[in-house]
Chain A
């Protein structure tokens, strides 16, 4: 029996999605093969010179994010200490206290408050001028539990002018939902990274990074909903649970450069391009300038631009609850642009190199962020359905911290 036009269209779409998934799988396999090849290349043939352990220091930071009706703040403490000349250990304790409600929540539910605590322990091992790094991270909140392990190798070669780094991490998430004890879903994540940096001149360093990430499992945000037309309600629409695919693969490429100016100051820049199997395409670039005064003060300014095209299954307003197999209205899946401008200032105290503490510093960093959405409307506006104003918001981000080098 001949297929109907609709059935043909469905088959074509399914085949396209399958082909897309296969392409990304092949992409991942090739990246793994190249990664393994490069590990062998650098570890067994590379002429390494001077990989070094990370600098010993301690930082205590207060962070704050305020924007779109949400306040997120808390402390972060990072300690790093060497054991002998070949081992460095680190520990980080980080807390997010979230209160308020973003536009996604305001449209469908009440404000809330929750706390997320993240703990990371890390170990770096310097072996024959190759730096091996590993870490374990646990992130815990009342409705989300995430664990991940990280492995990385980095090596300098070509007279210390070149550095290659490879990384792999694996994460396991358990997703819950407030007010629903029976809700428990899982998601796994793998990341493959490859980085290369090169000293180009005595004042210029350039770098290149690739990262492939694959997710599998429950990838929805259980608190975000799709909006669909519903003439039985006063406002003309209702909300239903989002439905995402169970897999996602993404690849991102970035380049960066740092240039030392003729006087003591530096400019830097980076650019990234991104795509994934959900149809999201994005790019961003950043330019910054660092200006020290004497040995005490360091000033920095930067501007960063981000642009994103929506996921294939994103819509602001659907016709009915089960219109498609996959449906999303998470604003981070939509088409939008973001602009961030930041300034920072640090003051440093230099001590004797023979003293217990070599140096200390206090830092103040402020970022202003602005996001404008092209196809995400403010569903809280009292206007006819589908004619609400496009959404946008700004946020202020603060980082205030003190550091000690020893």
Chain B
């Protein structure tokens, strides 16, 4: 059960962040959520660094998908590398 519990806890944490972050908790009457009052702390005018292409995790999709294919072909592990699925044909 160890694996299931770990997975559940992590997914619940992510779900909580999404739930509270999206503000839906405030739609429930009588529910006092301390996280609901948190405002986005990086203002739009402070995002010039983040908008620079060098901060993109996928600057060149055509090269990134090829690099992923090479690693998938040479390694037993797979998944959670941020890419869409596709047929491998890795004979």
Query: CB within 8 Å of B: which residues of A?
Result: 23-24, 26-27, 30-31, 34, 37-38, 41-42, 45-47, 54, 59, 61, 63, 65, 76, 78, 92, 94, 96, 116, 118, 120, 133, 135, 137-141, 143-144, 146-148, 150, 152, 157-162, 164, 167, 169, 171, 173, 175, 189, 191, 193-196, 198-199, 201-203, 205, 207-213, 221-223, 250-254, 256, 258, 260, 264-266, 268, 272, 274-275, 280, 282, 284, 290, 292, 298, 306, 308, 311, 332-333, 338, 363, 365, 367, 369, 371, 395, 397, 399, 401, 403
Contact residues of B between 30 and 52, Cβ < 8 Å to A: 39-42, 44, 46-47, 49-50, 52
B23–A47 touching, CB < 8 Å: yes
Count: A-B pairs, CB below 8 Å: 250
B70–A65 touching, CB < 8 Å: yes
Q: A45-B23, A138-B87, A272-B81 are in contact. Are A369 and B74 (CB under 8 A)?
A: yes
Can you list 12 pairs linking A and B with CB atoms under 8 Å apart? A23-B1, A23-B3, A34-B15, A78-B61, A133-B84, A158-B40, A196-B18, A251-B79, A252-B78, A274-B78, A338-B75, A369-B70
What per-residue 1/0 map shows which CB atoms of B2-33 lie under 8 Å from chain A? 01100110111011011101111001000000
One of A59, A150, A311 near B86 (C-beta < 8 A): A150
One of A158, A164, A196, A290 near B54 (C-beta < 8 A): A290
Complex Cα spacing A146 to B88, Å: 7
Task: Specify the chain B residue showing the minimal Cβ separation from A136.
Answer: B86
B46–A202 touching, CB < 8 Å: yes
Min CB gap A114→B, angstroms: 8
Please, which residues of chain B bring their CB within 8 A of the CB of A160? 40, 44
DSSP majority for the A interface? strand
Min CB gap A96→B, angstroms: 8
B80–A401 touching, CB < 8 Å: no
Please, which residues of chain B bring their CB within 8 A of the CB of A94? 66
Please, which residues of chain A bring their CB within 8 A of the CB of B39? 159
Complex Cα spacing A135 to B84, Å: 9
Q: A46-B22, A118-B86 are in contact. Are A26 and B57 (CB under 8 A)?
A: no
B11–A34 touching, CB < 8 Å: yes
Interface size on B, residues (CB 8 A): 56
Complex Cα spacing A137 to B69, Å: 14
Contact residues of B between 55 and 71, Cβ < 8 Å to A: 55, 57, 60-63, 65-67, 70-71
Task: Specify the chain B residue showing the minimal Cβ separation from A76.
Answer: B62
One of A78, A147, A251, A306 near B62 (C-beta < 8 A): A78
Task: Specify the chain A residue showing the minimal Cβ separation from B25.
Answer: A45
Which of B12, B60, B75, B80 has the largest number of chain A CB atoms within 10 A? B80
10 closest A-B pairs by CB: A146-B87, A159-B40, A45-B24, A169-B85, A211-B79, A252-B80, A139-B87, A282-B77, A274-B77, A252-B79
